[in-house]
Amino acid sequence: MEYDYNKMLGWAFSNIIEPEVLCAIVNAINKQLPSKPYYRKEEDAEGWACPNCDMDVEHDHGRIKDTYCHNCGQLLDWEDV
Protein backbone atom coordinates (compact mmCIF):
# COMPACT_ATOMS: atom_id res chain seq x y z
CA MET A 1 0.00 0.00 0.00
CA GLU A 2 1.38 3.39 -0.98
CA TYR A 3 0.67 6.49 1.07
CA ASP A 4 0.62 10.13 0.06
CA TYR A 5 3.22 11.74 2.35
CA ASN A 6 1.91 15.28 1.89
CA LYS A 7 -1.69 14.21 2.53
CA MET A 8 -0.69 12.52 5.80
CA LEU A 9 1.29 15.57 6.96
CA GLY A 10 -1.57 17.88 6.02
CA TRP A 11 -3.97 15.81 8.11
CA ALA A 12 -1.57 15.78 11.08
CA PHE A 13 -0.97 19.55 10.97
CA SER A 14 -4.70 20.36 10.77
CA ASN A 15 -5.87 17.86 13.42
CA ILE A 16 -3.17 17.79 16.10
CA ILE A 17 -2.34 20.73 18.33
CA GLU A 18 0.25 19.25 20.72
CA PRO A 19 3.74 19.84 19.21
CA GLU A 20 5.24 16.73 20.85
CA VAL A 21 2.61 14.47 19.27
CA LEU A 22 2.96 16.18 15.91
CA CYS A 23 6.76 15.80 16.04
CA ALA A 24 6.43 12.08 16.85
CA ILE A 25 4.05 11.58 13.91
CA VAL A 26 6.36 13.41 11.48
CA ASN A 27 9.34 11.34 12.67
CA ALA A 28 7.37 8.10 12.24
CA ILE A 29 6.28 9.10 8.73
CA ASN A 30 9.86 10.03 7.78
CA LYS A 31 11.11 6.61 8.89
CA GLN A 32 8.75 5.03 6.35
CA LEU A 33 10.55 6.82 3.52
CA PRO A 34 13.44 4.57 2.42
CA SER A 35 16.94 5.91 3.07
CA LYS A 36 20.20 4.54 1.74
CA PRO A 37 22.58 3.14 4.35
CA TYR A 38 26.15 4.34 4.14
CA TYR A 39 29.45 2.50 4.49
CA ARG A 40 31.34 3.54 7.58
CA LYS A 41 35.05 2.82 7.90
CA GLU A 42 36.49 4.07 11.16
CA GLU A 43 39.09 2.89 13.63
CA ASP A 44 36.57 1.17 15.90
CA ALA A 45 33.78 0.33 13.42
CA GLU A 46 33.54 -0.80 9.82
CA GLY A 47 30.45 -1.76 7.88
CA TRP A 48 27.05 -0.49 6.80
CA ALA A 49 25.25 1.99 9.04
CA CYS A 50 21.76 3.44 9.31
CA PRO A 51 21.58 7.02 7.97
CA ASN A 52 19.14 7.96 10.73
CA CYS A 53 20.77 6.66 13.93
CA ASP A 54 24.26 5.53 12.79
CA MET A 55 23.81 1.98 14.13
CA ASP A 56 25.10 -1.08 12.25
CA VAL A 57 22.90 -2.71 9.62
CA GLU A 58 23.75 -5.84 7.68
CA HIS A 59 24.17 -6.32 3.94
CA ASP A 60 25.83 -9.49 2.75
CA HIS A 61 27.19 -9.69 -0.83
CA GLY A 62 24.00 -8.58 -2.54
CA ARG A 63 21.74 -10.56 -0.21
CA ILE A 64 19.78 -8.11 1.92
CA LYS A 65 19.65 -9.03 5.58
CA ASP A 66 18.05 -5.89 7.05
CA THR A 67 15.22 -4.08 5.29
CA TYR A 68 14.89 -1.70 8.22
CA CYS A 69 17.09 -0.58 11.10
CA HIS A 70 16.50 -2.70 14.18
CA ASN A 71 17.47 0.22 16.41
CA CYS A 72 15.30 3.11 15.14
CA GLY A 73 12.96 1.50 12.57
CA GLN A 74 14.24 3.46 9.54
CA LEU A 75 13.26 1.78 6.26
CA LEU A 76 16.44 1.02 4.29
CA ASP A 77 16.92 1.22 0.53
CA TRP A 78 19.73 -1.08 -0.62
CA GLU A 79 19.17 -0.41 -4.35
CA ASP A 80 22.38 0.79 -6.04
CA VAL A 81 24.39 0.20 -2.86
Task: Read off the pLDDT of residues 41-72 as tens digits, 9 standing for 90 and up.
Answer: 988 878 999 999 999 998 776 666 789 999 99
The mean per-residue pLDDT over the stretch 5-26 comes to 80
Phi, psi of 64 (to 5 degrees): -75, 125
pTM above 0.85, yes or no: no
Phi, psi of 22 (to 5 degrees): -60, -45
pLDDT at 38 over 60: yes
| Band (17; pLDDT cuts 50, 70, 90) | confident
Which contiguous run of DSSP H or E holds residue 2?
A: none
